[in-house]
Amino acid sequence: MSWAVVLLALVALLVFSKRYAWWRPAVGREHPRILMYHMVSEHQPGAKFNKLRVKPDVFEWQIRWLNENGWHFALMSELAEPEKVPPKTVFLTFDDGFADNYHQAHPILQKYGAKATLYLVVDRFERDWSTAKKAHHNSGELMREPKLSDEQVAEMLASGCWELGGHTLTHANLARLDEKQKFAEIQGCRQQLEARFGGAVTSCAYPVGIYDETDGALVEKAGFTSAVTTVEGIDKDLHARRFELCRVKVSGKDNRLAFRLRMRTGKRG
């Protein structure tokens, strides 16, 4: 074999390893996985946020794979008693409230008897929240994306496959608010969702993943029992981490291998 071939094989292995991080140690299956989704839809040509769009056939494969491999689906409210969460548990979570959650994800969850927690923004229409993180994300792409109507949310909840979590009133960037404003966003969201849809809202997701060390106390004061972040990973002590839980990001760009590796290690690459 020539040196060129050996070198080429080595480079290929390095590129593959960087992309898939297969070498990362597996996290024990007694530790639940909290998966983060946004949209389940086809990609839009040239769109910036296609990584937030998991294609419907890919989503169906993921749910079928979880089901066939013995993963148990649970709702985030069940984390109030972490000691009762069985091994091989997966929490599906959806952020924001995109209409495709009803049109695409909901029938698939029903088909496989899966469950999911929907972190719903109360005031979600005509709002360009992608600029809350970076001002230059002002293409309006996420604003134009259709959102769930209250009627659709009610139907999803009635099926028993879904529960609601809070994602603030306006998808606020908490870092830009004072404590009083933050509390109004966090608690107001819980109160409005409970008043509108009934049922307890016990889990919260920080918008655009931005939070600081004092926000967990505010979330607790507002009546929530858990909060999720956008930090990638799998927590081993759910109680200690209950107000800053890591999630496993599911990207619209992932293939089957990448999804399996994320389930194994919590991260990709």
Q: Total number of residues binding Zn ion (CB under 5 A)?
A: 3
Q: Which residue is nearest to Zn ion (CB)?
A: 95
Give me the least distance between CB of 96 and Zn ion, in Å please. 4
Instruction: Say which DSSP state 63 is in.
Output: H
Give me the least distance between CB of 167 and Zn ion, in Å please. 6
Give me the least distance between CB of 101 and Zn ion, in Å please. 13
Stretch that binds Zn ion, among 88-96, 137-145, 182-190, 225-233 (CB under 5 A): 88-96
Instruction: Say which DSSP state 85 is in.
Output: P
Could you say which residues in the range 172-211 bind Zn ion, by CB under 5 A? Answer: 207
Give me the least distance between CB of 119 and Zn ion, in Å please. 7
Could you say which residues in the range 30-59 bind Zn ion, by CB under 5 A? Answer: none
Among 219, 192, 223, 195, CA closest to 207? 219
Closest CB to Zn ion among 210 and 238? 210
Give me the least distance between CB of 95 and Zn ion, in Å please. 4
Interaction between residue 145 and Zn ion (CB under 5 A): no
Rounded to whole angstroms, the Cα distance separating 20 from 263 reads: 12
Stretch that binds Zn ion, among 28-36, 93-101, 195-203, 248-256 (CB under 5 A): 93-101
Closest CB to Zn ion among 96 and 185? 96
90-117 core/surface letters (b: 16 or more CB in 10 A; e: else): bbbbbbbbbebbbebbbebbeeeebbbb
Provide the token pair at 102.
């009803």
Closest CB to Zn ion among 156 and 204? 204
Among 60, 78, 96, 235, binds Zn ion (CB under 5 A): 96
Rounded to whole angstroms, the Cα distance separating 76 from 92 reads: 8
Longest Cα–Cα distance of the chain, Å, equals 71
Closest CB to Zn ion among 130 and 187? 130
Whether the CB-CB separation of 207 and 173 falls below 8 Å is answered with: yes
For 131, 214, 215, 234, the CA distances from 244, given in Å and listed in that order, are 23, 11, 9, 11
Closest CB to Zn ion among 71 and 91? 91
Give me the least distance between CB of 230 and Zn ion, in Å please. 9
For 63, counting Cβ atoms within 10 Å of its Cβ (0-12 exposed, 13-18 middle, 19+ buried), the class is buried
Among 60, 78, 95, 163, binds Zn ion (CB under 5 A): 95
Stretch that binds Zn ion, among 19-27, 89-97, 106-114, 174-182 (CB under 5 A): 89-97
Among 177, 163, 170, 247, CA closest to 215? 177
Residues in touch with Zn ion (CB under 5 A): 95-96, 207
